[in-house]
Amino acid sequence: MRVSVKKTYKLYIGGKFPRSESGITFEPSGAPGVNVAQASRKDLREAVVAARGALKGWSGRTGYNRGQILYRLAEIIETRANALIDEIRASSRKSQAAAEKEVEAAIDLVTWYAGLPDKLQQLLGAQNEVSGPFFNFSVVEPTGVICAVAPETSGLLGALAVSVPLIAGGNTVVLLLSEASPLVGLALGEALAVSDVPGGTLNLLAGHRVDLLPQMASHRDVDGLLLAGEPDSATGTAAADAVKRVRWAQLSERDWSRLDKLTSLHWVRPFIEVKTLWHPKAP
């Protein structure tokens, strides 16, 4: 029997794969026997710095360019489908068929959002008829750096569902993966690293929600939160200090695998700012 080379599971921050600065690892409940880097609060702060650093470049790209990069991500996920299926099965009880379905749905989700960035202005912006000799139009811009927390179910699709809509809109994201099964999410980092997604656009952390969520909520340089689970007032209260835009994704386990629930403008709109411009008309 062949002695295999075992994988070290590291975080994905700023386009690189560091271990936690704390040096601490944990064994996810879905994958006992595997030591995964446990993201500390300092790792979270570093990830926010990386996301902030990547924001100008990512949001400054044309919608067409962002769309092409997301499509490339879909290409890479498709190419690495078998590896991702293995990761899903290694840390969950999903069957081969169910894991295949999850990866296919992941590709479909990324492809749906790949076709969106070059249409956002037409869908969410407007030219407004005002009473006076003024040209008035509303453009949409990304909110900024968003912290997201993935659901515990659907380690791959859930992670993408709470992050891809945000980056399609031009935001950059720090994503905390499923606590019980982060392995496939971390493997997603490998796909991101080779698909022209600039480093820092989407950062991946594994660790404990109870440690990291309060810091996400209170971090002054985070502009929004997209959190899987039920609303909790402690998080919302902390987020109010910086007037963060906060949304909770309360879906059943079944709904987390339904593409029609996961692909819509409703996931994009809360993390978009509308900017309205006036200009006089005169000869």
Partner 1 sequence: MTPRTSQQKSAQNGQHPGGGADDRPQLVFGERWTYAPAPQSTDHVTLRERYDLFIDGAWAAPKGRRSFDTVNPATEATLARVAQGGQADVHKAVTAANRAQREVWGPMAPRDRARYLFRIARLIQERSRELACLESLDGGKPIRESRDVDVPLAAAHFFYHAGWADKLHLAFPGSKTAPVGVVGQIIPWNFPLLMAAWKIAPALACGNTVVLKPAETTPLTALHLAQIFEQAELPDGVVNIVTGDGRTGRCLVEHPDVDKVAFTGSTAVGQQIQRTLAGTGKDLTLELGGKAAHIIFDDAALDQAVEGIVKGIFFNQGHVCCAGSRLLVQESIHDELMRRLLTRIDRIRVGDPMDKNTDMGAINSGEQLQRIKTLVEAGEAEGCVLHQSSCRLPKKGFWFKPSVFTDVSLSNRIAREEIFGPVLSVMTFRTPDEAVEKANNTAYGLSAGIWTDKGARILWMAERMRAGVIWNNTFNRFDPASPFGGFKESGFGREGGRQGLQAYLRFHDDVLVQG
Residue 260 binding partner 1, by CB under 8 A: no
**Of the candidates 135, 194, 240, 241, which one interacts with partner 1 according to CB under 8 A?**
135
78 contributes a contact to partner 1 by CB under 8 A: no
Q: Which one of 123, 130, 240, 274 is in contact with partner 1 (CB under 8 A)?
A: 123
Q: How far is CA 2 from CA 6, 182, 269, in A?
A: 12, 26, 51
- Give the distance between the most distant pair of CA atoms in the chain: 84
Residue 122 touches partner 1, criterion: CB under 8 A: yes
108 near partner 1, judged by CB under 8 A: yes
Site string for partner 1, 218-257 (x = CB under 8 A): ----------------------------------------
Is 33 one of the binding residues for partner 1 (CB under 8 A)?
A: no
Least distance in angstroms from the C-beta of 101 to partner 1: 15
Only one of the segments 21-29, 49-57, 107-115, 229-237 lies at the binding site for partner 1 (rule: CB under 8 A); that segment is 107-115
Strand 245-249, strand 126-127: pairing: unpaired
Q: Which is nearer to partner 1, 115 or 231 (CB)?
A: 115
Give every CB contact of residue 77 below 8 A, 6+ residues apart in sequence.
84, 103, 106, 107, 110, 188, 191
Q: Which of 25, 68, 215, 218 binds partner 1 (CB under 8 A)?
A: 68
Beta carbon of residue 211, minimum distance to partner 1 (angstroms, whole number): 39
Q: Closest Cα to residue 224, out of 170, 159, 177?
A: 170
Least spacing, CB of residue 75 vs partner 1, in Å: 8
- Contacts by residues 97-103 (CB-CB < 8 Å, ≥ 24 positions apart): 101/257, 102/154, 102/156, 102/157, 102/257, 103/77, 103/156
Q: Does 265 bind partner 1 (CB under 8 A)?
A: yes
Interacting residue with partner 1 among 24, 64, 194, 240 (CB under 8 A):
64
Phi, psi of 259 (to 5 degrees): -60, -35
Nearest to 73 by CA among 145, 155, 168: 168
Collapsing DSSP states into helix, strand and coil, what is residue 8? Answer: coil
What is the spatial distance between Cα 213 and Cα 209, in angstroms, rounded to a whole number? 5
Interface residues with partner 1 (CB under 8 A) are: 63-64, 67-68, 71, 108, 111-112, 114-116, 118-119, 121-123, 133, 135, 265, 279-283
